[in-house]
Structure 1
């Protein structure tokens, strides 16, 4: 089982000294700074070998390996944060969007976040079978998206329509904004109310 890899009592990485690098671990989501792993050595004929600053890095928190080469990171950063108390059928779409971001599938992120808004609206009482704009209006009119968030939802509607109906590739920055907005809606409607409920019961 992959969980066994986290057990450092009997699994040891034979680590070498690598140039220290900071990154967000794609496994545990922590921002770490590691100097353990397997360095990429540049060995040019007639020149002194040296570390490139790239290679496989071992996370100092979960001890899992990440390959970093220039601007490539595998596994990538699953942008956004986990949200508590979200129904499985809603959370699965959110986590799939985060995984798509880690894979660099930014247009896929936008489409999944569009679908996520539909799942959220339905879970919060909207009828099934509506058009996307009707789900957006439902979230706005019932104040599920929070105050002054209409511009955010309109961005998701715009990006979602473009990705769905036009030949457009969405950018990393657009994917980041949409995930952060969806994370905010999930926290407002699921995580924060559950915290308040726990406080009232204590």
Structure 2
């Protein structure tokens, strides 16, 4: 996306609500910079973008008038309690990837997390992805109703690993959502059910 116009001096900007990509606060900027672009057809200047200053952390965010582009993007919020450290590190990396719209990376990280989950739950190391999925199924981490999800993630992961086309946003989000659900079932919910 390319803009041709001019930045105006810092001023008051009212009504531009957004989620800050730095601190995660839902905010409405009280100040920032306006970017105007000349409409060649009608000869007037129109507002096309802003640099907004977060009222919570004071960091800047670039945002287009139509909200189609925000830099930095808000981070995907998907916390899972009681994760083993290796999975917690990978989950944080996966959240950053999907928040930055790195969909190929997101899917590959989801595959890596499934493999790590299987190993942490007793599977042998240095095996194929299919081996790890089969292990999770045989040991009832993946139910029969979850099987279509896993098969779809396997296909998406194979595309990301071995083929030229890029992964779509929808496929990346589906892989990520499934992974979050599985991690919650394996680690968070059993922990919450333990007597205090």
Check the 8 A contact 2:17/2:29 in 1, yes or no: no
Q: String of CA shifts for 1:16-45, please: whole Å, max 9, x gaps.
A: 422423333323445x24132313231649
TM-score normalised over the length of structure 2: 0.80
> Is 1:20 the counterpart of 2:15 in the alignment?
yes
* Partner in structure 2 of residue 55 of structure 1: 50
Q: After TM superposition, give the deviation of residue 123 of structure 1 in Å.
A: 0.9
Q: How does 1:28-177 map to 2 (within 5 A)?
A: 28-30=23-25, 32-42=26-36, 44=38, 51-52=47-48, 54-60=49-55, 62-69=57-64, 70-146=67-143, 148-177=145-174
- For 1:17 and 1:141, the matched residues in 2 are separated by 60
Structure 1 alignment gaps of length 5 or more: 1-14
Structure 2 alignment gaps of length 5 or more: 1-9
Q: After TM superposition, give the deviation of residue 78 of structure 1 in Å.
A: 2.5
Check the 8 A contact 1:16/1:38 in 2, yes or no: yes
- Report the 3-state secondary structure (helix = DSSP H, G, I; strand = E; otherwise coil) of the residue aligned with 2:29: strand
Check the 8 A contact 1:24/1:77 in 2, yes or no: yes
How large is the RMSD of aligned CA atoms in angstroms? 2.5
Q: String of CA shifts for 1:34-77, please: whole Å, max 9, x gaps.
A: 1323132316499776643x312344555543221352222213
* Partner in structure 2 of residue 3 of structure 1: none
Measured at CA, do residues 151 and 61 of structure 1 come closer, stay the same or move farther in structure 2, by a change above 3 Å? Answer: farther
Number of equivalences: 183
